Structure 1
C-alpha cells in the first residue's frame, strides 16, 4: 500500500473520536502480524536469527552480564493468537531480550538540580511516545549498583510500575546526550540478535499493551509488571531484513498519522475561531439592532456552527454572558426596582443589629459606575454578596477549620457532610460521610439547607457552584466550601447560580485567587466581588430563558455524542475487520 492509498482509505479516521489513535494501533497490529510489508523469500530465515541470538545470549551469560535464569515452558502456538507468515518464528521474550531494573534510592536523595556527583535519573513520566529529556531528577551516583543501569542507545524503556492505564508503556532511546540512569519503576529492555526498533513496534502494539495490563499485579493505585511474566511473553520474529522494512513502513505511516492529526487540530482551531467570531458581536452588541443582526447570523449558520461538543460549550458560555449583561430577555417597566428592595432589607438588617439579634457585618464599599466591571441596564444595580444574603449571622460562611472537624468525627449515618467533590458533581451521588447530631449542633454555623448556594474555595480553578438539592436533609459543609443563604425577596438562587458560572464573573473569582501558592478563595475577598442584580421578576424570566436554551444545548450535545458513538463503532469495526482479514 502506498502512502497515498493509505490516506485515501483511512484519512476519514481522523474525524472520528479517538480515530487517529485507533489508526496508530492498527498500524502496529498489522506490523506484528506480518501484514504491513510483503515477505521476501530471499531474506535470511528467522530461524538463523534465533540461532545467532542463542549464541549471543550464551556469551552474555558467560560474561556475567545477565544471569542464566530459569527454564521457560515450551511455547504453545495458541499463545500468540494471530496467524504469522510462514517465514516467521515464534519465541519467548527471554530468548531475544533481557530487562535491566532501575536504580532504587530514598526520596531524600533526589534533587531537582544537577550537581557534583549527581547523575540524571529518568522516571515513568519521562516515558511518552518518545523519551522526554526534561523535568529531570538527579541522584547521587553512589546509588548506581552496576554500569548496566546506565541508559544505552537503542534501549527500550518500559514502565514496570504505574497506574493500570499506563503500566507497560514503552519508549525507544534514540540518542543519549548525557549519562543517565533509570529509576526503580522503570526497566531497560535490551535486545539480543533482533532489531530494537522492531521490538519497540511490537511492544507498543495494542495486543501486547493489553497483555501487560492483564498480567500486572494490582495494589491500591499501582499496577506492577514482573520480569518473570515478561520473559514468557510470546514474540513473533520476522527475518531481520523484514524487521527493518516493518520499522521503516511503520515509521512512514506514523508520520502520516501525525499529518492527519495536525490537519485535524488545525480544522478544530479554525472552527473555534469561527465560533468566537460569531459570538463576539453578540456579546459586544451596543443596541437591539446589533443584537438582532448577530442572532440572525448564528441562526442562518446554526447547522454548520454547532457540530462539536466544544462549540456547544462555547454557546453555553455565551448564553450566560448575555444573561448577566441584561441582553437575554427584555426589561419591563413594571418590574420592582431592586434598589428599593435592597433599601428595605438593609433597614431591617440595621434594626436587628441595633436590637442585638444579629452581628453587624463590615460594609463593603458601594460599587461606583467607574469601577464596575461593565455597564448594566438602567434598572439593574451592582451588589456585593453580603447585600443579598439572608438576614442571619451565618448566611455567608465557610466550612469549619480542620481541628473542629476530624475524620474521627465521621459516622456512617446522621447529618450528612458536604465536600468539594459534591459541589463539583452537583450532588450526583449520595453522601458517604456523616456526623452525629451533637456534632452537627456544635457546627451549626456551618450548616447548609436546601436552596442554599455552595461554592468551592479551592481547586483548579476554584469557584465551582451548585445549589443544595431540595430533596436532601440539611447538612454541614466541610473545609474549602462556602455556603450562601440568600435573601429570597431579593434574588432567585438559580439566577445567582448562573451568574457565578458566567465567564465575566468567573474572571473576578480567579482574580481574587492571585498571589497565592494554591488557588484559593478567601471569604474576605469573596465578599468584595461585584454581582449584577436585576429586578426579581426579570431574574425569573432570565432563568426560564436560560433553562430553555440550555435544554437546546443538551439536545445538541446528545446528538453530537450519538454521532461520535456511531463513528467510533464504525472505526473500531473497520480496524477489527482489517486486523482479522
Structure 2
C-alpha cells in the first residue's frame, strides 16, 4: 500500500488541497493496518492487552475506574493480529490543577495550558507559573513520553511530552500515561486521524469552545497493533509526513517562483517603451503562455494586465481619423454646463488642470489626461428604503471584487435595510467608497437603491470603458495613495474627483471595451478548463484514496 502512495505522489499532491489529503490518507492507512506490512512473528495485540490487564490489577480503584467506561462504536475492521480497546483500558489519564488564587498554596512551578499545546508539538515561549503543593505533583506533572491532550479549546489536540525535564499542567489538559509500553506517538497520530476525519467531534461537548471530559476520553475506541508494529507505523508515518513537508515547501517555492515569473513577464508588457519593445515582450509571453497561466492567480494577473494595457492605449491600435480626446473633453464640459443651467446637475467646484508631473505614463498622441470629476458626476439622492421595497438593492457585499460582477440580486425588502440609501438608475456605475471594498464597482442595467457606502456615478464617456478604468491599477493605485493620505475608512468625493484618468477618443473607447470583453471571456474559458482539469485530478486522487483504504 505504501507503493500505491509513493507511485502516485505527484497526482495526490497536485490535487486541490492535495498535500492535506495526502496527510489524511497516511494516517488513515496507518491506523487501519495498511501502511506497513504485518509480521506474523509479532506478538498479537491480544497478548499485549492481557499484560496490561494484569498490570492494572494492582492499581488503586480510582486509577482503574476509567476502564469501566463503555467503549464507543468501532469504525472499521482490523488486521487479525490487532485489537480494539477503549482509551481508558490502555492509559491512565487525568486532568491537571485548577487555578484558584483564593485557595492556592505551595511552591511556584511552570505549567502548561492548551495555549502551549499544539498538534505534535509544544510552544513553551509563554509558559506561566502556578502554586503547586507536594500532594498535587504526582497527579499534575508530565514526564517524558506522557501524551498530553487538550480538554478544552480544540479538545483532543495532542502531543507527546518529549523533554527530559518534567512539566506541570492545569485542568484543561489531560495527561495520558500508557500501560504495557504502548507507543505514545502512535496514540498521538491516532488522535490526529480522528481530527482529520471529524470523528473527534463525537467526543466533544459544547458550542464554539468545546471540551472533552475524562469519561468521553476514556470511551474513545483505539485500534491497537502489536507493539513491534506500533513502532514500525510511527517510523513510517514520520518518514511520510517529512516527505509531505518537503513537498509542501517545494510547492510553495515553485508557486512563488511561478508568480514572480508571471509578474515579471506581464510587467514587461506594461513597461514597454515603444512598439518594438512591446512586440518583443509579447513574443516572450506568447512562447510560454501555456506554462505561465496554469493557476487562477496567474490568470487574474493576466486579466489585470489586460486592463492596464487597455487604459494605457496599448491594447488596440489608434486610428488617426478619430476625433482627439481633447475635443471630446471640450464637449463634455459644454454638456455639463448645459445640465447645470437646466437644473439637472449641481454645479461643481472647478478642478485643477492635470499637471505634467501627475501624468502616470506617456499617452498616445490623440489621448488626454483628465480628472475623474471632469468626465463623471457623482449623484447620491438619499431616500427611505421602505418607500421602494421592490427595487433591487446593491451593497459592497454583493459585488465581486475586481471584476464588476454582481453576486446577488436581492430586493430592498429582502435585504432588510433600514437606514437611508442612495437612489441609482440604469446606466450608472455604482462604486463602493468604503474600505476594504474600494475595488468593487458595477455598471447597472436596472434602477435601484444602494447603501450609503456607495457612490452612484454618471459617466460622460463610455460607461463600460470607465468601469474598466475604475477596475484597473491606474485607478486602484490612486485609491491606495488616497487611503494612506487621508487615513479615513471611506474615500471622500474630493479625493475621488481629483483622480487622474487617461482618456482615449470615443471611438477607441468602444474598440477597447470590445477587445477587453473578448479577452476577458477567453481568460474565463481558460479558468473553466483549469477548474475542470483540477476536478478531474481530484476525482482521480479520490479514487486512489478509496482504493488505498478499501
TM exceeds 0.5? Answer: yes
Q: CA deviation at 1:572?
A: 1.2
How many angstroms apart in 1 are the aligned matches of 2:222 and 2:124? 29
TM-score w.r.t. the length of structure 1 is: 0.77
1:190 and 2:190 are equivalent in the alignment: no
The change in CA–CA distance for 1:523 and 1:377 in structure 2 (over 3 A counts) is same
Tell me if structure 2 keeps the 8 A contact 1:16–1:568.
Answer: yes
| Alpha-carbon offset, residue 382 of structure 1 | 2.3
Residue of structure 2 equivalent to 1:475: 449
Instruction: Give per-residue Cα distances to partners, 1:231-283, cap 9 Å, x unaligned.
Output: 32210112333322211111011111222222233333333333233323222
2: distance between equivalents of 1:172 and 1:503?
51
Q: In structure 2, the residue corresponding to 1:543 is in which secondary structure?
A: helix
**C-alpha separation in 2, matches of 1:411 and 1:119:** 62
73 and 188 in structure 1: CA distance in 2 versus 1, 3 angstrom threshold: closer
Shift of 1:506: 1.8
| Offset of residue 476 of structure 1 | 3.2
TM-superposed CA distance for 1:491, in Å, is 1.8
**Matching residue within 492, 508, 518 for 1:548:** 518
Aligned with residue 270 of structure 2, among 283, 287, 290? 283
CA 1:495/1:358 → structure 2, altered by over 3 Å: closer, same or farther? Answer: closer
* Paired residue secondary structure (2:517): helix
Partner of 1:563: 533
Alignment correspondent of 1:100:
95
Q: 1:83 aligns with which of 64, 77, 93?
A: 77
CA pair 556-252 structure 1, distance change in 2 beyond 3 A: same
Deviating more after overlay: 312-321 vs 299-308: 299-308
- Contact residue 392 and residue 448 of structure 2 kept, 8 A: yes
In the other structure, the counterpart of 1:496 is 466
1:428 corresponds, among 404, 407, 422, to 407
Is contact 1:448-1:468 (8 Å) kept?
no
Q: Distance in 1 between matches of 2:342 and 2:461?
A: 26
* Equivalent residues of 1:103, 1:143 under 8 A apart: no
Give the superposed CA RMSD. Answer: 4.3
Cα distance change of structure 1 residues 48 and 341 upon mapping to structure 2, 3 Å threshold: same
Using the alignment, how far apart are the partners of 1:351 and 1:180 within structure 2?
A: 82
Asked if the contact 1:389–1:396 (Cα under 8 Å) also holds between the matched residues in 2, the reply is: no
Deviation sequence 1:448-484 (CA, Å, 0-9, x none)? 233332333344x43122315324x411314xx2213
Tell me which residue corresponds to 1:209.
Answer: 197
- Segment drifting more, 360-369 vs 150-159: 150-159
Q: Which residue of 1 aligns with 2:103?
A: none
| CA distances 1:162-217 after superposition (whole Å, capped 9, x unpaired) | 6xxxx755555555999786796xx5452432332111111112686321246656
Q: Secondary structure at the match of 1:421?
A: helix
Distance 1:104 1:475, change over 3 A: farther
Contact 2:95-2:171 at 8 Å conserved across structures: no
Task: Say whether the 8 Å CA contact 2:351–2:498 is kept in structure 1.
Answer: yes
Question: Residues 352 and 15 (structure 1 numbering): CA distance in 2 closer, same or farther, change over 3 Å?
Answer: closer
User: Shift of the alpha carbon at 1:423?
Assistant: 2.3
Alignment of 1:367-378 (within 5 A): 367-378=354-365
Q: Do structure 1's residue 264 and structure 2's residue 246 form an aligned pair?
A: no
Matched, 1:312 2:299: yes
Please point out which of 285, 288, 292 is paired with 2:279: 292
**In 2: Cα distance, 1:312 partner to 1:58 partner:** 67
Alignment counterpart, residue 321 of structure 1, candidates 283, 303, 308:
308
CA distance in 2, matches of 1:277, 1:50: 63
SS in structure 1 of the partner of residue 319 of structure 2: coil
Q: Distance in 1 between matches of 2:370 and 2:213?
A: 62
Confirm or deny: 8 A CA contact 2:307 2:469 kept in the other structure: yes
Separation of aligned partners in 1, 2:258 and 2:17 = 19
1:110 is matched with which residue?
A: none
Q: Structure 1 residues 71, 438: CA separation in 2 closer, same or farther (over 3 Å shift)?
A: closer
Q: Which moved more, 1:344-353 or 1:226-235?
A: 344-353
| Structure 1 residues 223 and 539: alpha-carbon distance in aligned structure 2, compared to 1, 3 A threshold | farther
Question: Are residue 68 (structure 1) and residue 68 (structure 2) matched?
Answer: no
SS at match of 2:479: helix
